[in-house]
A and B are shown apart, each in its own frame.
Chain A
Amino acid sequence: MNDIVRMLLQRLSLGVLTLFVVSLIIFLGVSLLPGDAAQALLGQSATEDTVNALRKEMGLDKPPHIRYLHWLGGILQGDFGVSIGNKREISELIGGRFANTLFLALYAAFIAVPLALVLGILAALYRNTWYDRTVNVTTLSSISTPEFFVAYILILFFSVKWGWFPSLANVTLDTPFLERVYKTFLPAVTLTLVVVAHMMRMTRAAIINLLASPYIEMAALKGMTRRRIITHHALPNAWAPIINVIVLNLAYLIVGVVVVEVVFVYPGLGQLLVDSVQRRDLPVVQACCLIFAATFILLNLIADILSILTNPRLLHPK
């Protein structure tokens, strides 16, 4: 087990290092933008003097590396700074929004992952039949359609024509769970349609890849049924690539929902990011970017670790 612990620590420290580099890039990127928070806050009519005074007050006159360290130090203590727009603590602002984004991502994943696995396994089992082709064509078309378009189509039918689901997913903190599920159904389905093709095709490919292995032929020569060969002999060895693609898609569900959140007016982190960019609320933009980056890195780390852990050679050392 020592090897596994060492590997976990190694990956973890690599993840932290990556996050550090990303924070540096975000900070530099934002500093490169013309204008700063003081200007944005005071608007175009402000005089040079007032802007300078505010800069001094906000600490913006200090050299960039000091500001960066200050920002990073704050984050490490859970302090993301203050929003320019409404003077509220950013951590407070983000908290509820991030929970909403996570909820939507998990909701979509809850539908998409089992669906993709089942469709993928079945496609491998009945490959090159009409079923396989239909699933491939359908999922490919859904992935090739822009997500806002998918969203509008769903709204057109499910809320405008048939009136089954609301077109606005305007939940608040105290919306009860079931109502929340009901209201966010359309965005969740939109996301599902976007990610399922990728996961399903990877599941299918990973399994089919293994079908040429000698141990699969051995299973056939032991008189195992096709179903058992796929689920019992191929699937356990196909987990690594499948887990990778699932987790990458989960990351996409969290960081890539911007468009969907905007279309459905869902109060998630993506919407906040878009609003903040419009308002030039740079501290909030920075914070959102960092959270997205951290999520992405964390999920990739999990994918890495899980796919290594599914390797029996590591789980059961000699």
Chain B
Amino acid sequence: MSTDSKELLLEITNLQIEGFSDEQWHQIVKGVDLTLHRGEVLGLIGESGAGKSTIGIAAMGYAKPGCRIHGGSIRFDGMELTTASDEEKRKLRGSRIAYVAQSAAASFNPAHTLIDQFSETVVEHGINSREKAYEDAKELYRKIRMPNPDDIGFRYPHQVSGGQLQRAMTAMALSCRPDLIIFDEPTTALDVTTQIEVLMTIRDIVEQFNTAAIYITHDLAVVAQMADHIKVLRYGETVEDADTRTMLSDPEEDYTKSLWAVRSFRKEVEAPAPEPTPILRVESVTASYTRSLNPVLIDVDFEIHRGHTTAVVGESGSGKSTTARVITGLLPPQKGAVFFDGAPLPPDYRKRSKDQLRQVQMIYQMADTAVNPRHKIRDIVGRPLSFYLDMQGEEKEKRLRDLMEMIEMDPDLFLDRFPSELSGGQKQRICIAKALAAEPAFIICDEVTSALDQLVAEGILRLLDRLQQELNLAYMFITHDLATVKAIADEVIVMLEGKVVEQGSKTDIFAPPHHEYTELLLSSVPEMDPDWMDRVIEEREQKGGMIAAGN
């Protein structure tokens, strides 16, 4: 992370990139400047559509299909990439500038082993023999603390976990010891506990090999750990540019400040005192997808009260979404039962009455796939009205307009649009309206803000909070994002490997002493403090033994 060696490596000036859509070229990147010295890490942050990835990839002289580099200059180590021939650029890629993609699972070729994909770059660029590359790969796998470093490379991508894949991809980027690595949201798809391992790997590597890096992310706390400098982008333009500490402590632009302020949202009103009968009770539920397999849920037991928000946290595979499937009746449990307002719900949704179905609604992570793209908003939100409540004609129209007002969207403007004409945040609002239309008492929110930019996500959280107070709704909030939990939860349930390991009020859960796993989960959430990761590493090393490598 040292910036003493001031040898200029990459200089981008007035970069302009266009993308082709709707039959014409639109400007995506509008004149961005950027300089990077050897061994330096630059963080690029901004919301989706800000042009982060496009700029990152342009540093390799590459434009995605449907895009073109339209103007400006990209100088890498004295070589002008905008005018270089395809062959010259090809020789550079992989060997001197490497790329680490957001989804390693999608970016590794499923037909080849990890180590073959590692050595391919080395062999094809004529740097070394396959045997030497194999040895080097094992050495690197060992350095980044992959389990079984001598063997893991011979596995296929689908045979290793997401966190391991992401680390293997970082190792692959290093195969030719490049001068520059572009990290494009390398940890966005990972759980916090896995994320910190990958972050440590990346930082180790950057330090050990004095590699320069461009680190692209929308997560400020992550970039605070990784970057020497931060550049904030919006709509393809630079908003602000400063070294990390200055940027964090003293941002100048309003937009930057608003990004920084996102995590400040807190639920203000105390939840009402719990009523004697919980609205929903999950009683010692054990469930599995097929009889032969081990149960996915083991003896899960909790209750949720009217007007309360209960957050269910845990890493992927811990059984959060399966619990939701049991509650909604999609997956009848093997043992245990679900009670609604004191009365048992039939385990299979097909056996539930319309009224029982109406009372439990769900909002999903991907609003895109949860709404029918060929239906107008009027039909999407109107369907539960006629299905559950037999509303027709004027009554239905009036209710539709009320619902749109509730989710703060103008009924005249939106009711007759199709989902494709809405933004991600607006679509999620429509999904909320659809859930509300059934007039439920209990709503399951499954990672509802995970696919949204932070500012938009905050808007959704505020909306959900307001609706809860107005309608006395109970939420079960499934998430892996602990910042969201801190913001809105009243109670927290921590799940691990299908079991509830800890549950209680938010204040209890977030205050020590913690269950061992809760501790790991909490301490893995990045904080905005640039020294946070060093501190965590130090603490964990003192406790003896590194965090267990993900398996």
Contact = CB atoms under 8 A, between A and B. Distances in A.
Nearest to B175: A222
A87 interface: no
B158 A312 contact: yes
A217 B112 CA distance: 16
Contacts of A316: 155-156, 158-159
Contact of B111 (A221, A222, A224, A236): A236
A215 B98 CA distance: 14
Interface in B83-138: 90-95, 98-99, 101, 103, 106-112, 120-121, 124-125
B525 interface: no
Nearest to B57: A221
B156 A222 contact: no
Contacts of B101: 214, 217-218
A223 B111 contact: no
Contacts of B98: 221-222
Interface string B48-81: 0000000001001010110000000000000000
B112 A212 contact: no
Interface string A220-248: 11111100100011001100000000000
Contacts, number: 74
6 contacts: A217-B101, A218-B108, A221-B62, A222-B93, A228-B124, A233-B111
Interface residues of B, number: 30
A313 B99 contact: no
Contact of B107 (A212, A218, A228, A237): A218
Contacts of B92: 223
B159 A318 contact: yes
B125 A213 contact: no
Interface of B: 57, 60, 62, 64-65, 90-95, 98-99, 101, 103, 106-112, 120-121, 124-125, 155-156, 158-159
Nearest to A211: B65
A302 interface: no
Contact of B94 (A214, A217, A222, A237): A222
Given A215-B107, A215-B110, A237-B110, A221 B158 contact: no
Given A214-B101, A318-B158, A221 B93 contact: yes
A184 to B, nearest CB: 38
Contacts of B110: 215, 237, 312-313
B106 A222 contact: no
A223 B175 CA distance: 13
**Interface size for chain A: under 10, 10 to 19, 20 to 34, or 35 or more residues?**
20 to 34
Contacts of A60: none
A219 interface: yes
B106 A213 contact: yes
Contact of B62 (A219, A220, A225, A318): A220
B106 A223 contact: no
Contacts of A313: 110, 156, 158
B124 A215 contact: no
Contacts of A224: 90, 94, 120, 124
A215 B90 contact: no
B109 A237 contact: yes
B109 A223 contact: no
A176 B95 CA distance: 58
B99 A218 contact: yes
A222 B120 contact: yes
Nearest to B184: A221
Given A214-B101, A215-B106, A221-B60, A312 B90 contact: no
A223 B158 contact: no
Nearest to A313: B158
Nearest to A222: B94
A236 B110 CA distance: 9
Given A213-B106, A214-B103, A215-B107, A222 B158 contact: no
A221 B121 CA distance: 10
Given A236-B111, A316-B159, A221 B106 contact: no
A236 B91 contact: no
Given A215-B108, A237-B110, A312-B111, A223 B159 contact: no
A221 B94 contact: yes
A220 B101 CA distance: 12
B109 A219 contact: yes
A220 B64 contact: no
Interface string A7-26: 00000000000000000000
B522 to A, nearest CB: 31
